[in-house]
Chain A
């Protein structure tokens, strides 16, 4: 009997330990990433969750050249850590494409805190980087992950570190022009307009930074942490936050023009976060929310024009194709998603397609097609007119 008790006790302790370790690994596992797609000429650039970068012919769907794999040495595979000696680098930002003369670069920011510029040679990416930031020889990184998106403007790449530094890097050679420390966590993407960079931070502020000097012009308290990318139109910068509010801010003065909802939140108001960027179309601010609705606001005064009710959270920025807004919703618990097309004239909706995979990455459109990187690490090309879907078969030996 005593031995049975001991055995039972040992089993209970063992089960508890396994649960502790497993749930620990599950909950704190290294990020998976959800990079979107970009393209140059007829070549699509995909970055997978396993850190592989593919060049794909958009016509045939065939992989061009060999995929490139981003890897890093793990910190040592310490006891019970969830890593191994060499691990792939998850990537959140979509690649940006830089073209100057004969130079064509795909610039990618990784969760290893490094930015890589891969040159296109004969239509496919070459594994030998033209430059990296920080430089390869420095054998270091920027101190934290790159989660927010990269933005290319006038030959300069702008991005942020998760620890709150904003960087301006020369796209041709990878030299740093300036950096600005917000002293708070940043997971959002910047936007650049008229020589000013706007970026939201976890310290509740929207920052406006001079792209020439890297100096702060103003900062605006949005009343809640910000992860969404701001959008700028006609002298107003629009930003939504975790506090379920959308703010319109004057780009010159940094003062609020309006906010939605304007007073205390009530029935019909946003019930969840503004996670992803809004877009402005014909004087209407189209703001997707995690509550599964799209709030269409008058961009001038913030009045609600229409509310398009969808079924699940919206996590990826929508795109406009042929007068229709293409927006993806995802059931997070079930990892299923739907792609909708919203008629921007009457806000009528139609379901384009549905899939048993989550959509968190930014949707990309080119040539009337929509390209999606799903949470199951598959890439699809979808014709929004008829919903026909092509899954890209990504194979190839690493370079």
Chain B
């Protein structure tokens, strides 16, 4: 059995069939099924996600000290590395800590993404391909396929011509990223992080214009859940600086932890 077959057997096939069954349970509405499955999987992944968020936050909090070290040992890279490692050790932070959970989650997200593509089966070839993923012993999946792809104003098998969903994907992704992107003292780093802050949402918005809206719905739901999770882990964060009305609500809510890096000069 090759790795593709193992992937299908263990991960992809169960998710495809669960998605079809959820569609049946949710009034034959595949849009609701995509949203619910995204919520469930994000819920299952939450412990990993929280570790990732906390690790990112700790790294952000260490930024002023790291910059001090960089200045102090600008001409001694070996010493700089030693001091940085010592700082991480003292703070109980692993510099790669945010990557582990991300890498573990990635196959799950890719599988969910592939499941949505496959159940929407926008071409006859895709429909034939879907047939080999369905569980013969689950009659309900054969009763449901082909799925009715209508959801609100959307045909989930087609791109959203109204552009509403791509815009929502871009906006929610921007909000999510803004909540975790700290102000950088270094102008170069600030410029880079600002670029990423806009490039990624813009890119996903544009991709959403060209793919079946079922995928865009998944991205939108995933972003929205991510924003909610991020809020409960670290508050509105830097987003509150941009959207001032959140500062009051965010900070007064008892969970509006600001992750704004102080400039080194302010410490002097």
What is the interface of chain B, defined by CB distance below 8 A to chain A?
A: 4-5, 59, 66, 81, 84-85, 88, 95-96, 98-99, 102-103, 106, 109-110, 113-114, 117-118, 122-129, 131-132, 136, 139, 142-143, 145-146, 200, 203, 206-207, 209-212, 215
Contacts and interface: CB of A to CB of B under 8 A. Distances in A.
Interface in A305-327: 313, 315
Contacts of B143: 224, 243
Contact of B110 (A19, A30, A34, A272): A19
A252 interface: no
Contacts of A4: 95
Contacts of B131: 272-273, 275, 290, 313, 332
A242 B142 contact: yes
A138 interface: no
Given A28-B211, A31-B124, A5 B95 contact: yes
Contact of A8 (B81, B96, B145): B96
Nearest to B215: A24
Interface string A1-20: 11011001100110011011
Nearest to B131: A290
Contacts of B113: 20, 23
B146 A24 contact: no
Given A24-B211, A243-B143, A5 B96 contact: yes
A287 to B, nearest CB: 16
Contacts of A333: 4-5, 132
Contacts of A313: 128, 131-132
User: Chain A interface mostly helix, strand, loop or mixed?
Assistant: loop
Contact of A291 (B106, B114, B136, B139): B136
Contact of A81 (B99, B102, B210): B210
A271 interface: yes
Given A187-B124, A243-B143, A9 B99 contact: yes
A80 B128 contact: no
Interface size grouping (class) on chain A: 35 or more
Contact of A202 (B88, B146, B212): B146
Interface string A109-137: 00000000000000000000000000000
Contact of B207 (A5, A13, A24, A29): A24
Contacts of A81: 210
A166 to B, nearest CB: 18
Contacts of A5: 59, 95-96, 99
Contacts of A82: 210
A165 B240 CA distance: 53
Task: Give the 7 A-B CB pairs with smallest separation, nearest first.
Answer: A27-B117, A31-B123, A271-B136, A81-B210, A5-B95, A79-B206, A24-B211
A147 interface: yes
B76 to A, nearest CB: 14
B137 to A, nearest CB: 9
A32 interface: yes
Contacts of B85: 1
A52 interface: no
B35 to A, nearest CB: 19
A87 interface: no
B8 to A, nearest CB: 8
Interface in A294-345: 313, 315, 332-333
